[in-house]
Amino acid sequence: MKKETFVTKDQLEEIVKEYPTPFHLYDEKGIRRNIRALKEAFSWNKGYKEYFAVKATPNPFLINILREYGCGCDCSSYTELMLSEAVGALKEDIMFSSNDTPAEEFAYADRLGAIINLDDITHIDFLENVIGHIPETISCRYNPGGLFKISNDIMDNPGDSKYGMTTEQLFDAFKILKEKGAKEFGIHAFLASNTVTNEYYPMLAKVLFEVAVKLKQETGVHIKFINLSGGIGIPYTPDQEPNDIRMIGDGVRRVYEEVLTPEGMDDVAIYTELGRFMMGPYGCLVTKAIHQKHTHKEYIGVDACAVNLMRPAMYGAYHHITVMGKEKKALDHKYDIVGSLCENNDKFAIDRMLPKIDMGDLLVIHDTGAHGFSMGYNYNGKLKSAELLLKEDGGVQLIRRAETPADYFATFDCFEVAKNLMK
């Protein structure tokens, strides 16, 4: 089976004349179409808001596209807060969901007026000691433990996750926060990752909605919002059916009307913190075949490596590959597609059936728009690539330049050795 690319071979051949491979390329048209569908799917909820998971694709040009549609920023670190502030996201446009949080990050989030989402009950006193008060609006992250199943299929194991509070801790946290002056409350949970099923969000919503009702009854707090977090996945393999976001939104609506509305809680806003779903399919890594090796296996060496896309090396994750211009050729060659790192797991594909690859062929590695560039690193002194945006009109915009050796050595600039490195 095949996947369609959002860029043509002719377009890529023009792009590489100005921007050498490898690079990440993003599809503006697809991003805009997707956010419109998401907003439509949850339009039934008056307070609905998407907080884009900045960690997935921390690029201000892409975040600003989403902000045109009213999206906020989900941040989990100091620099992500800085990026959000730089694009004009302030106060309730920021959801700060972190864990094992340093004091200076809580302080910065408070200065920005962000909604702080506490990962642990011990963070209540920690936060108060750092900023000198408890915010009037605050959220707590919930982890019910156990396994999260859909139709007897295990989707994930929250009980083995480091995130969130137990049920007992959550109820105690709300009571403590109320006593300390909090007025508005949110509940947040992330129970499964990259689910390719329309059932996940409605089932998660039912868990959180039922907890919200009990919290209101037992603590008397006002639940302002329920944050379904992320977890809606994308079809990395061509045989998977993509999620139907409109069906998902309607499923959440039905549970909302079943659980919250009868309790007089139809003012509760629904928030999401999607990253992979927002950007994943609308980015690709473009690389060139530069070597071939015939030993115990057939290898194609490309000019990208795990520095540019870590997921296959780190997780054994599947990313579909298209050899541009050969989409209709028979998949009759078995290759390992590899990078140049001094690590044997630096492979984008293992025993992948592809058309015959010739040196100079351009390869598109699909679905790198989230957790692609952002997970990059500099092992072996390899440099991160450029990021480009394929505009709606077919033009191309540079939205991050490629790193240079000067960037790699920049943190030596306070030492004498830098004079030789920076020559």
Return the H-helix or E-strand segment holding 362: strand 362-365
For tokens 């040196």, name the residue.
359
| Catalytic machinery residues | 342
How far is the C-alpha of 421 from the C-alpha of 302, rounded, in Å?
27
* Residue 246 one-letter amino acid: R
CA within 13 Å, CB half, 316: 1
Nearest to 114 by CA among 134, 133, 89, 132: 89
How far is the C-alpha of 21 from the C-alpha of 310, rounded, in Å?
17
Buried b (16+ CB within 10 A) or exposed e, 247-263: ebbebbbebbeebbeee
Contacts with 221 (C-beta within 8 Å, 6 or more apart), sequence order? 174, 178, 182, 185, 215
State residue 311 phi and psi, 5-degree precision: -55, -45
The two structure tokens encoding residue 55: 């960690």
SS3 90: coil
